[in-house]
Amino acid sequence: MNLLDIIYDGQAQYLQRAEEMVAKVVAEQGKETPVKFPGTAYALPCIYAITGKKITNVGELEEALALAKEYIHPAKTLQAGLDAGTASAMLAEIIEAVKFVYDPIPYKGRDAEDLNTAEIRTLGFLPDAEVRSFGVALVTQDIPGVAVLIGEAPDAETLASVVKDYQQKGLLTFMVGKVIDQAIEQNIKMGVDLRVIPLGYEIESVIHVVSVAIRASLIFGATKPGDFLAHRTYTKDRVKAFVNVFGGWDNKIIAAGAAAIELGFPATVDKYINEVPTLLLYQPDYEKVVATSLEARGIKIKITEIDCPVSVSSAFEGERVRKDTMFAEFGGNRTPAWELVTTGDLADIEDHKITLIGPDIDDAMFEEGKTVRLPLGVLVEVAGKDMQADFETVLERRIHYFLNYVEGAMHVGQRNSSWIRLTKEAYGKGFRLKHIGEVLYAKMRDDFDKVVDKCQVTIYTNKEDVERLYTEKAKPVYDKRDTRMAALTDDNVEEFYTCLLCQSFAPSHVCIVTPERLGLCGAVSWLDAKATKQLDPTGPNQPVIKGTAIDERLGIWDSVNEAVATNSQGAVESVTLYSILEDPMTSCGCFECICGIMPEANGVVIVNREHADITPVGMTFGELASMTGGGVQTPGFMGHGRQLLGSKKFMSAEGGLERIVWMPKALKDDVAERLNKAVKEMTGIDNFADMVCDETIAVDSEAVLEFLETKGHPALAMDPIM
């Protein structure tokens, strides 16, 4: 068979299965039965993007079949073959959707608390929130690419070495088929957080990664449903995905491969088939699969040499260390711990000097088999001609990420609330405290090379030192910074900053970052932007010299409008910084929270990405989020960072923080302290967070209103919000 016939045969197999399954589900469940994937506002996302049609019930699956058939017209042209790939993708999505009609959780890994101890670990469909959570990492190249592994490698070790290589390089890896069992056999850590995602055993489950790419186009690109060419252009240009097929292919895999190629994703195979230059590649040497794939997709990886016995990669950022795998622990209220970055004189700092003062984790004083607990002070001293004291906090906050990158290390908190855990596995591989210094040294030099010319790290583990240096050294610095931060307001700085990082995914989105309004992803504060400008003068953060405001209440500046218009290529001409109703700032899609108006309560509800359930406005986070994004202005909806919930500028044009009537409890607990403080200073109201309703109190609109009335919530007495 030639390549096209192989694709047509594979596609015919999808068609037969889809037709049988649809006929069966129509007969057994009736046409009115709803059809949906969990946690998405985009129905069956691939079919929606390709055709513009939202499939919502079993009856409409018959229409979906007809839509897929429009792409079936076998001929001896490449495009006809690629169209058969598109049809196969739509048919696979139909097949998968039917599985969800019969069982709300057909992929049992979704039921598991911990994927690595669960029996069945497949995850299948990824909800919108998970797709959005990849946003920032994808734009910053923190996730440099997406690998899709299909089939079964010749042996588990081979598979493991490929997956570990991708994981080490920070890629997002999806697995379909027996490769999942091979990864389990080799103890590969899996999960959405760990960037290794077991989709399912049947080839049809590969549609769930296609759906991630397509939703990136819908969410971040604001690409129109039905404009398939635009979606293809988006995925080809912006989603750096590729496919590796192991253990020989069958016709269905090749038909799926045609769909991938149509989206711009090249594929490698280990059993020969006609080659299509740059798109379908034959690579029988498993040691070269990774290099071939990265080259085919133009993915370049920056490698930092670090003297450390375990892997250091952004892929391990989300790894948790539980009590039963823990070897050592620092801070977390059990021992005193702090971390501090300070600037010294070039002459006084000795580059790459790593010092441990006090016992290490293998000290003889520790009892065998018991968790090692030590006080910990981490002092990072840097020096450089262009280093500024303002950048210290930026560098210091990176400690959290850098230590989380360590395989087998978990870092939570900051300053004197830092909390670190190390696994037995990492200890077994030889990880010791000096390696904390090595990792911090290497990453600081690497990420901040423009301002850090020298860096030395000192680690203290004697209780007296840690406590004394906290009082003498760390606390005074924290206090000084807090005073400086409190004094940094939108009114008393000369410039704001643009952030264009997300343009790689949301081409017309521009964030304006101010001292009182950080980027909506939560990752870029005004100080971060200022530091980035220094590190990368022509980079994504450029100053906007403020000048005089046209309207102080709404937050309108000529300079800001100009910057937004230029940088969005004219897509957006005017934004306000302090209003949700008049020309609100646009969103890219990777916001931490979404805020929407609840008219009957005369206020707003706020939902964080992690909250999956319905809100009092009758929509989930995903549904609210789908109202905005892709650089589009939607009055009444605003994506923002968590930090904004302690800002006096939070939609101040409409009355500010006092308008908040409902938030998920977890979010409320997280921001309560800052929220209460800001509201108290502005209005004199104590403990405002207690007046804000949450899902443990009420979700139903009427019950929410009742609660607000009992609490005397200030929003009820304010001017009508709209």
> Considering CB distances under 5 to 8 angstroms, the limit depending on partner class, which of ligand SF4, Ni ion, none binds residue 676?
none
CA 207/CA 259 separation, integer angstroms: 10
The answer to the question of residue 499 lying near ligand SF4 (CB under 6 A) is yes
Two tokens, residue 502? 């997300």
Residue 497: other Cβ atoms inside 10 A: 25
Rounded to 5 degrees, what are φ and ψ at 650? -55, 115
For Ni ion, the binding residue among 500, 588, 661, 672 (CB under 5 A) is 588
CB of 524 to ligand SF4, least distance (A): 4
Contacts of 219 (CB under 8 A, 6+ apart): 128, 131, 132, 135, 589, 625, 626, 629, 630
Nearer to ligand SF4, 82 or 512 (CB): 512
Contact 432, 459 (CB under 8 A): no
**Residue 212 touching Ni ion (CB under 5 A):** no
The least CB distance from residue 609 to ligand SF4, in Å, is 13
Nearest approach in angstroms of CB 220 to ligand SF4 is: 10
CA angle 670–672–675, rounded 5-degree value: 120
Q: Where are the beta strands (DSSP E) in 394-471?
A: 409-412, 419-423, 454-460
For the record, the structure tokens of 322 come out as: 């539980």
Of 4, 308, 523, 638, the one binding ligand SF4 by CB under 6 A: 523
280 touches Ni ion by CB under 5 A: no
The reply to whether 521 sits near ligand SF4 by the rule CB under 6 A is yes
Does position 394 interact with ligand SF4 (CB under 6 A)? The reply is no
Out of ligand SF4, Ni ion, none, what residue 404 binds, judged by CB under 5 to 8 A for its kind, is Ni ion
As given in the structure block, the two tokens for residue 714 are 């200030």
362 and 431 Cβ atoms separated by less than 8 Å: no
Question: In angstroms, how far is CA 193 from the centroid of its own chain?
Answer: 9
Stretch that binds ligand SF4, among 40-48, 289-297, 496-504, 615-623 (CB under 6 A): 496-504
Q: Where are the beta strands (DSSP E) in 207-321?
A: 241-246, 267-269, 280-282
Indicate the residue among 150 and 502 with the shorter CB distance to ligand SF4. 502
Burial class (CB in 10 A: 0-12, 13-18, 19+), 305: exposed
CA nearest neighbour of 87 among 161, 21, 13: 13
Contact string (CB under 5 A) for Ni ion, positions 363-402, x = contact: ----------------------------------------
Residues 640, 642, 647, 653: what is their CA dihedral angle, to the nearest 10 degrees?
30
Q: In this chain, which stretch among 238-246, 586-594, 679-687, 697-705 interacts with Ni ion, using CB under 5 A? A: 586-594
Nearer to ligand SF4, 100 or 637 (CB): 637
The tokens 């929003």 sit on which residue?
Answer: 715
Q: Are 122 and 109 in contact (CB under 8 A)?
A: yes
Positions in 408-427 near Ni ion (CB under 5 A): 409
Residue selected from 182, 217, 404, 586 as contacting Ni ion according to rule CB under 5 A: 404
Q: Does 531 bind ligand SF4 (CB under 6 A)?
A: no
Determine the Cα–Cα distance for residues 185 and 193; give it in Å rounded to an integer: 20
Task: Return the bridge partners of 419, or none.
Answer: 331, 412
- For the bound state, the minimum distance from the C-beta of residue 506 to ligand SF4, rounded and expressed in Å, comes to 8
**Nearest distance from residue 139's CB to ligand SF4, in Å?**
6
Stretch that binds ligand SF4, among 148-156, 511-519, 607-615, 705-713 (CB under 6 A): 511-519
CB 123 within 8 A of CB 110: yes
Which of 194/374 has CB closer to Ni ion?
194
Among 280, 387, 520, 595, binds ligand SF4 (CB under 6 A): 520
Residue nearest to ligand SF4 (CB): 519
What is the distance between the alpha carbons of residues 240 and 259, in angstroms, rounded to a whole number?
15
Interaction between residue 316 and Ni ion (CB under 5 A): yes
Amino acid at 437: G
Q: Residue 73 in 3-state DSSP?
A: coil
What residues between 122 and 151 interact with Ni ion by CB under 5 A? 135
Kindly tell me which residue out of 127, 247, 264, 519 binds ligand SF4, with binding defined by CB under 6 A: 519
Pick out residues in 570-629 that bind ligand SF4 (CB under 6 A).
588, 590
**Sign of the CA dihedral 405, 408, 412, 415?**
negative
Question: Given candidates 91, 452, 502, 585, which one binds ligand SF4 under the rule CB under 6 A?
Answer: 502
Q: Is position 502 an interface residue for Ni ion (rule: CB under 5 A)?
A: yes
Q: Which does 319 bind (CB under 5 to 8 A by kind): Ni ion, ligand SF4, none?
A: Ni ion
Contacts of 233 (CB under 8 A, 6+ apart): none
| Residue tagged 């909506």 (tokens) | 520
Interface with Ni ion, residue 518, by CB under 5 A: no
Identified binder of ligand SF4 from the candidate list 216, 239, 452, 501, rule CB under 6 A: 501
Binding site for ligand SF4 (CB under 6 A): 136, 499, 501-502, 511, 513, 519-521, 523-524, 588, 590
Binding site for Ni ion (CB under 5 A): 135, 316, 319, 404, 409, 502, 588, 590
